[in-house]
Structures are given as structure tokens and as C-alpha cells.
Amino acid sequence: MLALRNVSYSYETVAAVRDISLEIGAQQLVALTGPNGSGKSTLLKIIARVHAAHAGEVWFEEKRIADWPAKEYARRVGYLPQDPDPTFPMRAIDVVVTGRAPYLGRFAWESDRDWQEARAALELCDAAHLADRYFDEMSGGERKRVFLARVLAGTPRLIVLDEPLAALDLSHVQQFSQLLREIVDRTGCTVIFAAHDLNWAAAHSDRMLVMQSGTLALDATPESVMRPDVMRAFFGFDAETVASGGRTWIVPRTSS
């Protein structure tokens, strides 16, 4: 579905992504982790076509992503930025329906089908009751859910989420994880998400990518990432593991 070949990207003075090669198939739930500034967001932006790679190639469904017509690509790949914000007051449902924008003609207005998709997406994200609420009256977590619904409303085949968990309370983190799994299982699409919570990322992904100073340091199953030596080497902290519920959990070791 998605293939990166020797992809690099640099901001004015900093190389943010360095020579990354990677293949991701359909129906996968992929977690992208790594310390702050390791290049996660930049990599996601390249995949979402926000940035064009400075070197290397990105392929999506047998075509270079630069060769896809912009709207066509946007219908297939949905992207949730880290801090989405509509700037001006808008109702949640109006925010969500902009997820249908890639399907709209130049002078067209949303059809009934677009509104249906938007409402269905809100429902999926447990946010149907927020539909008519204004964005500036919502909590951070509610906004996040509305924005996730916006991505889903576009019925993408590849979903790219930058820090979707930030600002979510624990019960919605749980709900959200199940939702991602359901979407992947039911629609066969692929989800790539960036996350800092390693325990959560491991529990809810099929595959973990670990970035370190712009390079892809590790590409493995969650079980083989959740180890004290990996934490020490790639994340820079001492940890021990705890087994619970048939899974391994990482607990940072305090120095006392």
C-alpha cells in the first residue's frame, strides 16, 4: 500500500528525516514512536503530502505520491495534524463535513450523502451529541474526537494520525483504541499513528516503528520493542517490565 524508499527531509538547518525506507501493507495498525524531535511528525507529513520529500521516493498504491492528483490522494489518505484548529467558531458537524472536501467539485455544496457520512463519523467517535455544539465550547478531548471524525468522514484507506491521544481521557483512550482496531478490521484500511505512550502504542498496534534523530531505528513487533534494553538504547531511560493481562508493560525505573 505504502512504500518509502530512502526518504529524507530537512528544515533550513536540521535534517528531520534521514534516509528512511519502509513498506506498509493493507490492514495494518502501525504505531510510530520515538523521543521528541526524532522526526515522527515530519515523516507523517511526508506521507500525508504536506511536505514533499527532498530525497527519495514515496509510493502509494503503485504510484508515486507526487503523481497522484491532489484531491484523489486526499480522498485516499486522511491526515490528523497535531493541533488542528478551525480558527473561527464553527459547529462540530460543520468541522466534520469539511472532511468530505476532497470529494467536492469547485462550486459544489455538500450533498446529503456528505452530511450522512459526517454524522456517521461523529457517531463512530462517540461524538454524535456534540454535532451542534460550537468548537470554542468544547474540551480538548472532545475537539480531538471531532477532528478524528473529520478524518473518518473522508473514508480514507490510509489514516495518518499525529498524536491522536493527547488530550483524551482514559476511557476515551480505550474507546479510541478499540475504534481504530475496528476500522482496520472492518474496512481493511491501514492506520499509522504517532504516540508517546509506549504501553498504549504496544497494546494497540500490530507493528511498532521507533525513530531516533530522523532515522528509522527499529521496525518490529510490539513484543520485541517492549524490553528494558530497547528502552535504554532508543528512549534513554531505565525501565523494568511488568507482565499483566497477557501483555508486557514498561515501567520507568525511578532512581531512588
Partner 1 sequence: MSGSLTRSILVLTILLAIAIALGVSFGSAKIDWNDEVARTILLRIRLPRVLLAVAIGAALAVAGVTFQTLLRNPLADPFILGVSGGAAAGAAIATAFRWSRVPGLVTAIAFAGAIGATAAVFLLARRRDHTDPTRLLLSGLVLNAFFSAVILIAFTLSRQADLTAALRWMMGTLFGATWANVALVMSLLVLAMIVLAFVANDLRLLAFGEEDAKSRGVDVERVKLIGFGTASVITGAAVAVSGIIGFVGLLVPHLIRLIWRRDFRFLLPLSALGGATLVVASDLLSRIIVRTTELPIGAFTAVLGVPFFLSLLRRAR
92 is an interface residue for partner 1 by CB under 8 A: no
Cell numbers found for residue 61: 498504491
Smallest gap from Cβ 56 to partner 1, in A, equals: 19
Based on the shown chain and the rule CB under 8 A, indicate whether residue 25 belongs to the binding site for partner 1: no
User: Are the C-beta atoms of 208 and 31 separated by less than 8 Å?
Assistant: yes
Cβ neighbour number for residue 182 with a 10 Å cutoff? 11
Q: Helix 170-187 crosses helix 140-153 at what angle (to 10 degrees)? A: 10
143 touches 62 (CB < 8 A): no
Exposed / middle / buried, residue 194 (Cβ in 10 Å: 0-12, 13-18, 19+): buried
| Site for partner 1 contains 91 (CB under 8 A) | yes
Among 102, 166, 174, 179, contact with partner 1 (rule: CB under 8 A): 102
Closest among 234, 229, 193, 191 to 210, alpha carbons compared? 234
Listed ranges 13-21, 69-77, 116-124, 171-179: which one lies at the site for partner 1 (CB under 8 A): 69-77
Q: Which of 27, 81, 203, 217 binds partner 1 (CB under 8 A)?
A: 81
CB of 176 to partner 1, least distance (A): 20
User: Does 186 engage in binding with partner 1 (CB under 8 A)?
Assistant: no
108-147 mask for partner 1 (x: CB under 8 A)?
xx------------------------x--x----------
**Interface with partner 1, residue 237, by CB under 8 A:** no
CA angle 65, 198, 222 (to 5 degrees): 75
The C-alpha atoms of residue 17 and residue 19 are separated, in whole angstroms, by 7
Which of 16-24, 77-85, 117-125, 222-230 is the region at the interface with partner 1 (rule: CB under 8 A)?
77-85
Q: Which of 25, 89, 188, 252 binds partner 1 (CB under 8 A)?
A: 89
Which residues lie below 8 Å from residue 241, measured CB to CB, with a gap of 6+? 226, 227, 228, 248, 249, 250, 251
Smallest gap from Cβ 69 to partner 1, in A, equals 8
| Contact pick of 106, 186, 236, 244 for partner 1 (by CB under 8 A) | 106
Q: Is 48 in the site for partner 1 (CB under 8 A)?
A: yes
Q: Which is nearer to partner 1, 46 or 208 (CB)?
A: 46
> In a 3-state reduction of DSSP, which class is residue 47?
helix
User: Containing H/E element for 62?
Assistant: none
Is residue 193 part of the contact set for partner 1 (CB under 8 A)? no
Q: Which of 14/242 has CB closer to partner 1?
A: 14
Which residues, including other chains, have CB under 8 Å from residue 22's CB and lie 6 or more apart? 2, 3, 4, 209, 216, 219
Q: Which residues of the chain form contacts with partner 1 (CB under 8 A)?
A: 45, 48-50, 69-75, 77-79, 81, 84-91, 94, 98, 101-102, 104, 106-109, 134, 137
